[in-house]
Amino acid sequence: MTGSNDLALVNSELAEILPDFGPNSMNLALLNILEDFTSERNRLHDTQRAIMNILDDFGSERAYLETTQRAVLNILEDFYSERTLLETTQKAVLNILEDFDYERVRVSGANEKLRTEIDERISVEKALIDKGAALARSNAELEQFAYIASHDLQAPLRTISSFVEILSETIEGVNDETVNRHFTYIVDGVTRMQDLIKALLEYSRVGRETLPFRLLSCTSICVEVMRDLQASIDEFGAKVHCENLPNVMGDYTMLRQLFQNLIGNGIKFRGDRAPEVAITAEKSGKMWIIRVRDNGVGIDPQWVPKLFIIFQRLQTRQKYPGTGIGLAICKKIVDFHGGKIWVEQPTSGSGIIFAFSLPDANEAFHS
């Protein structure tokens, strides 16, 4: 009913507007209006769709814009992280550069100190070389002097000895105790002086007249020395043990004298029991340590520092005759071969141990 009333109202209004038109004219006008309305409505619909399309496009653009914005934010966040990382790296590099600069200064100081130490060491080494050369010259001159002195002193001593013999024949049969005693002192003094001169000459010859070092068997040398000392070995019932001794590079004459002096001392400075001498060896690095042990009277430790000094005696000549030069010669021989000699006290029993080192033959050969 409402629609009919509305239509009647419209028709009456149209009738008032168009009083001069007939019914057909009014229908035609109404159709035109309706057509215009339909056209406007369609246009409005089109506009609405266009607006909706625009809104849809705007939504897509907004979504794209939001996506782009998020991407930009992510890029900015990554940039911030990279910047933070770069700043951290920069700080680390600066710290490294500071540490490097500190190390450079420290190393420079250490290098300067090292250069100073090297210069000082070179100066010390040069001074040592100069002192060594001076000492070598001094020793050579001393040995030359000892050789000449001992050689030249023998001539006047031979003269004195000859006149002593003549005097002995002259006063033979003289029954004067004082004269005989004084004459005995003269003979003993001359003999003693001759022995000392011969010992000094022997000492000065060590190392002067040598042949090139050659391979030597210490066992063979000991066996030969035992043959030389056989009379003493038999006289005192001595026992000498030597076996499995090493091979060394050295001078045969000097090493033979070395073993003879040490073994001879073991028999000479005997105690109450029959003398017994044992020679053993052990390897220590590039050296052989050879020990000569006896069961004799031994040595008081307080006298050990004087043992290898020339003409030093620890016993009286009446009890143990000799010149006191044997151990000094031993030391000179061992030194000449690049070794050392020393004394060891036995852990049990009596006697003494003389130990000395000699380079191993293989090591000496490779050197």
Torsion of CA 225, 231, 236, 237, to 10 degrees: 70
Examine residue 234 and state whether it is found in any structural domain, yes or no. yes
Tokens standing for residue 262: 């040490």
Q: How far apart are CA 203 and CA 197, in angstroms?
A: 10
Q: How far apart are CA 181 and CA 185, in angstroms?
A: 6
Examine residue 290 and state whether it is found in any structural domain, yes or no. yes
Examine residue 324 and state whether it is found in any structural domain, yes or no. yes
pLDDT reading at 198 higher than 80: no
Mean pLDDT on 35-62:
78
Tokens standing for residue 307: 């043992």
Q: What is the pLDDT of residue 168?
A: 73
pLDDT reading at 18 higher than 60: no
Examine residue 71 and state whether it is found in any structural domain, yes or no. no
Q: What is the pLDDT of residue 246?
A: 92
CATH code where residue 357 lies: 3.30.565.10
Q: What is the mean pLDDT of the chain?
A: 78
Q: How many domains, the chain? A: 1
The identity of residue 39, as a single letter, is S
| Residue 27 binned pLDDT confidence (cut-offs 50, 70, 90) | low
Q: How far apart are CA 358 and CA 224, in angstroms?
A: 19
Q: What is the pLDDT of residue 366?
A: 46
Examine residue 159 and state whether it is found in any structural domain, yes or no. no
pLDDT reading at 320 higher than 60: no
In whole angstroms, how far apart are CA 18 and each of 27, 29, 275? 11, 9, 174
Winning range, highest mean pLDDT, from 83-97, 98-112, 167-181, 211-225: 211-225
Residue 253: give the domain boundaries. Answer: 213-366
- 3 Cα distance to chain centroid: 121
Winning range, highest mean pLDDT, from 172-186, 281-295, 337-351: 281-295
Q: pTM score, two decimals?
A: 0.54
In whole angstroms, how far apart are CA 251 and each of 208, 223, 245, 333, 337? 12, 17, 16, 9, 8
pLDDT reading at 144 higher than 90: no
Give Cβ neighbours of residue 283 (< 8 Å, ≥ 6 apart): 246, 289, 360
Q: What is the pLDDT of residue 17?
A: 55
The identity of residue 107, as a single letter, is V
Examine residue 63 and state whether it is found in any structural domain, yes or no. no
Q: What is the pLDDT of residue 148?
A: 66
